[in-house]
Amino acid sequence: MEAGVAPPNTDAQQLAATSRLREHNMSLPTGNVVQFEAASRPAACRRCDLGGICEALRRGADGARRGGAVQRGKLLFRQGEVFKGLFVVRSGSVKTSTNATDGVEQVVRFHMPGEVLGLDGLCGDVYHATATALEMASFCRISSEELDQLLTRNPEAARELLGLAGRELVAEQGRLALVGQRAADARLAAFLLGLSREYARRGYSSTEFNLSMSRQDIANYLALAVETVSRLFTLFCQSGLLDVERRRVRILDIDGLRALLGGGQRQSVASS
C-alpha cells in the first residue's frame, strides 16, 4: 500500500457504518455481525496475538482475513456451536462465559484488543464457551479451513498456536488459584493488576483504563458477591489505591495493590 493512503475499511469506518444502521433501526446482516474484509493494518496488527499466523496466511496468498463488528451484548459465537474459526478482538472488549445445564453463567475471561477467542473450539470442533461483546467491538477471523491448511504446511504457525493455547491454560490456572486461596480484597487487587499488565504489554496506559465489564461480571469472575465487589471498590478509593469515576479507573498506588497480594507492608483494606 502506498505511503499516506489510508487503508480501506478502517475500524472507525466499520463502527460508523454499524452506528448508522443502528440509528436508522436497520437490522444487521448475518445475524449479529456486520461483515467486512480486513486488509493489512499494521497499527492494529502489532498488538495481535495471531500476527504471525496471519502473516503466514498472507504469504501463502490465502487472501484477506474475514472480520466484522458486533454491538454490545451480541455474540460472536455460542457455547455448543460448531467451530468456525479463531477470532481476534480488534477494538472494544469481549467476555467468554460458560453456562451449566441449570443455566448458571460462569465468566471465564475478559478479552481486550489483540487477544484471541475460540481456541477451545479446537477441542472437538465445537466452542465450549460463549463470546459476548461488552461494548461495540470489531474483530478479525481466521476460518477453520484456513487454519487447517496453514497448520499442515507451517510448523512455526502450529507452535505459535500451541503457545497461545498454553497461555490460555496458564491464565485459567492462575484464576483458579486466585479464587481458591485469596481473600476478597486480594482477588480484586490481582484482577486490576492483571489488567494493568495486559494494557501495558499492548502499549496502552497501565494506570488508567476503562472497565467495560459490569460489577456483576467482575464478581462472577472472581467468585465474589456483587455487593462485596462494590464495597471493595469504595474501600480501595477511600484507602488511596484507586480513583474511580463510573467505569474509568485510575490506579493511584500500584505498590499498595501489590501489597494486598502478600509480602507487602500495607494492611488489608478489608480489615482496616
Rounded mean pLDDT, 223-233: 96
Domain ranges of the chain: 11-175, 182-271
Q: Are 127 and 121 in contact (CB under 8 A)?
A: yes
Which CATH superfamily is 11-175 part of? Answer: Jelly Rolls (2.60.120.10)
The predicted pLDDT at position 262 comes to 78
Q: Are 7 and 44 in contact (CB under 8 A)?
A: no
List pLDDT tens digits, range 15-34.
Answer: 444 444 344 333 333 344 44
- Let me know if 68 is exposed, middle or buried by CB neighbors in 10 A (0-12, 13-18, 19+): buried
- With 80 as the cut, is the pLDDT of residue 107 above it? yes
Q: Are 212 and 201 in contact (CB under 8 A)?
A: no
Identify the H or E element spanning 236. helix 226-238
The predicted pLDDT at position 34 comes to 41
Q: What angle is formed at CA 98 by the lines to CA 164 and CA 126, rounded to 5 degrees?
A: 60
The predicted pLDDT at position 46 comes to 64
CATH fold of 182-271 reads: Arc Repressor Mutant, subunit A (1.10.10)
